[in-house]
Amino acid sequence: MEIKKTLWGKSPCGQDIWKYTMINASGAYVELGSVGAAIVGVYVPDKDGKLTNVVLSYPDAAAYFGDGPCAGKCPGRYANRIARGHFTLDGKEYTLPINNAENHLHGGPDGFQNKVWESRIVDDAVEFMYFSEDGEAGYPGNLKVVAHYVWTEANELELSFTAECDAATVVNLTNHVYFNLKGEGSALDHVLKLNASEYLPTHPDLIPVGDSEPVAGTPMDFVNAKPLGRDIKAPFPALEYGKGYDNCFVIDGYVPGQLQLAAELCEETSGRALEVYTTQPGVQVYTGNWLEGCPAGPGGRVWHDYDAVAIECQHYPDSPNHPDYPSTVLRPGEVFAESIIWAFKVK
């Protein structure tokens, strides 16, 4: 495995931003950036062997600060939404910044995705570290987060998160990478299959109502593979609230710490396929419903709504306010440890 490190740019406050390129023996490669520990390029072959970047990305490092899509980055301290920016932990209420209607999203406007992480090459891996201070964005406790990336000879990108704290806090980490397996155009022709027979219905502001419900008989059913666009305009509350899919699905057979198949995504013309595995209990599927107006892509490409799909493996939205959901509480002496694997194939 060859790993190259290059200076990519500067942050608004003058920090160096580094780009890492991980190249396997077949020539397929991944690009990572130290803004938000981001995936900024994944170049994998199609059925004819042609390499194409299959993730939403921007050529300019500065474009990754404050971008609406949170493209390829690791949001935190809590990925997804927390209702009204409030939660109670051990009897104390905490208030977080509001940045999504009346709710807190992805750690707020200054979340981990908009920070420059420390970075280094460790053997055949690239590792990013961010230290979040007690009180940052209203969260309690100092928190050290490490994102460890490995790119394999089999074209599998492995991301392992670890986090430790010195006071009880809440943590939910994912990567917000978007995929278009043909490289350009609408992603609504991509065929998705989910290992999820239930999903979390939400209020109109996309905060979960409570209990999960079966997907069977609804447009939320991806147990049997279907194109993303087949039912996306169906008159169904979950789709109307978000202008498309922006919903958390409950992964079948979840066992803490055990890798499970979460999703399979295929695109016929390129022959590319993607399998997504995770140790986390949920997967948020977001069909890029609001990509219009985001920073330009390579070659000045303009991104349009539905041009890419995010498959975000994570804990459930608003878990700190739902004690019956898998816990997102981290306490001193414990280690948050979760993994995601994106396995790229040709069919």
pLDDT digits (tens, 9 = 90+) for 83-142: 999 999 999 999 999 999 999 999 999 999 999 999 999 999 999 999 999 999 999 999
Catalytic residues: 176, 312
What is the model's pLDDT at position 182?
97
pLDDT in tens, 169-188: 999 999 999 999 999 999 99
CB 26 within 8 A of CB 50: no
Q: Over the chain, what is the mean pLDDT?
A: 97
- Average pLDDT on 8-27 reads 97
- 3-class secondary structure for the chain? CEEEEEEEEECCCCCEEEEEEEECCCCCEEEEECECCEEEEEEEECCCCCEEECECCCCCHHHHCCCCCCCCCCCCCECCEEHHHEEEECCEEEECCCCECCEEECCCCCCHHHCECEEEEECCEEEEEEEECCCHHHCCCCEEEEEEEEECCCCEEEEEEEEEECCCEECECCCCCEECCCCCCCCCCCEEEECCCEECCECCCCCECCCCEECCCCCCCCCCCEECCCCCCCCCHHHHHHCCCEEEEECCCCCCCCCEEEEEEECCCCCEEEEEEECCCEEEEECCCCCCCCCCCHHHCCCCCCCCEEEEEECCCCHHHCCCCCCCEECCCCCEEEEEEEEEEEC
Span between the terminal Cα atoms of the chain, in Å: 25
% of the chain residues with pLDDT over 90: 100
Cα atoms in the 13 Å half-sphere on the side-chain side of 316: 26
Confidence of residue 16 (pLDDT cuts 50, 70, 90): very high
Residue 31's CB is within 10 A of a number of other CB atoms, namely 22
Q: How far, in Å, are 124, 131, 172 from residue 127 at the CA level?
A: 10, 14, 19
Give pTM, 2 decimals: 0.97
Pairing mode, if any, of strands 282-286 and 309-314? Answer: antiparallel
pLDDT bucket at 35, cuts 50 / 70 / 90: very high
Q: Across residues 231-236, what is the average pLDDT? A: 98
- Percentage of the chain beyond pLDDT 70 is 100
| Domain residue extents for the chain | 2-346
Cβ 329 vs Cβ 155: under 8 Å: no
The fold of the 2-346 domain, in CATH, is: Beta-galactosidase; Chain A, domain 5 (2.70.98)
pLDDT of residue 229: 98
pLDDT band at 332 (very low <50, low <70, confident <90, very high): very high
